A = this chain, B = another copy of it.
Amino acid sequence: VTIRLNRTRTATPPFGTVLAREIPAVKALTSRKRTRRRRGATIYEVARHAGVSIATVSRVHRGRQSVAPGTRERVLAAAAALDYRASPLATSLVRGRHDAIGIVFPDLSGPYYSAVILGYEEAPASEGSSALILATHCREGQARRLVLDLADRVDGLVLMERTVEDGVVEELERQNLPIVLLARPPVGSADSVRVENRAVAVRLVAHLLEHGHRRIGFLGDPEASPDVFERWAGFVDAHREAGCRPWPSPIGCDHRETAGRLAALAALREEERPTALVCANDEVAIGALAAVRELGQSVPHDVVLTGWDDIPAARHVATPLTTVRQPMVELGRRAAQLLHERISDHRAEPRHVMLPAELVIRTSCGCGLAADKEVDR
């Protein structure tokens, strides 16, 4: 316990223009301040202007405690005159929360993600929080650091797909950071929001089986994402339920148009070629569509196929795609909602939301074909 001089801050703001001339040490700081962004006045200036203490300014500003009407008016007037806005930084520091949440994407290309952002962004904006965004771009090494770093700037985090390994999620949980997993199976006690994949895959494949198809190929890579894995699982389920033997393994390809085209080309040149192709997403399906045409054949007459995601182009291709529509905006919205709940209600038990997907039947699956033209198995 020592004794020191105390330039009472309440009485005199630390860097009054007058003081600057009097205290030498202040000089350097003052000049450093020049390069800093000029913000509105501080609470000290408002207090002085209104002839009250900073505590009172804070009280009227936050509107929680009672302040005499007259005083309140004076403070309000001073604040307005000086264009006072409380520093979010200082407020956050003392209150121990950021009033900000973050979302981490694996990538940002494609129409897919912007819809999620759209849904996600609304909640924080309307409640005075801000939304931080990060894309890891599969730069594996970086990802951990970037996410951990982001974690220190927010009150909660939404992690989409395989942005970071399970270990990192657990690490964040240990830090007590509310986490919502998006399109990713639950880890630890984090919340999760997903779109149903397996059940709708079953319906989709059942539909194809009803059309009479028995040699159905799956175009895509189940290992690439949890979503595709579930789609493949549903694909297998549907065959089992119908008592058929599924095509032994997926026809692997990454999930872009070119890869889809190439994979389809190869598959359709086989002797025992599939009569139907279930594609992991619409891009692959569009590539496959091109492949069929290159072979001088047509969809749905010679082969039928289906996509996933219902991207805008799905409706516009030569043979409109039968596909699965996912509620992407809702996905983002629910994630933000769950996160908000966890943060403000201090909810402890994890919640898991599964959103329904919608089967969109168009013509690429063979619907609308004359019955007699349907493939005979």
Residues of A within 8 A of B (CB): 1-8, 33, 35-40, 85, 87-90, 92-93, 96-98, 100, 102, 108-111, 113-115, 117-118, 121-122, 125, 128, 130-135, 137, 146, 148-150, 152-153, 155, 175-177, 286, 311-313, 315-318, 346
Contact = CB atoms under 8 A, between A and B. Distances in A.
A114 B121 contact: no
B150 A130 contact: yes
Nearest to A126: B142
Contacts of A38: 175-176
A146 B125 contact: yes
Closest 10 interchain pairs by CB? A114-B114, A108-B118, A313-B313, A111-B111, A36-B96, A313-B316, A38-B176, A316-B317, A4-B6, A89-B93
Integer count of this chain's copies in the complex: 2
A93 B96 contact: no
A190 B8 CA distance: 41
Given A110-B114, A118-B108, A131-B134, A89 B85 contact: no
A135 B125 contact: yes
Contacts of A88: 152-153
Contacts of A311: 312
Q: Which of A85, A111, A318 has the most CB of B within 10 A?
A: A111
A98 B36 CA distance: 11
A109 B98 contact: no
A81 to B, nearest CB: 15
Contacts of A5: 1, 3
Contact of A117 (B1, B97, B98, B114): B114
A294 to B, nearest CB: 15
A144 to B, nearest CB: 13
Contacts of A92: 89
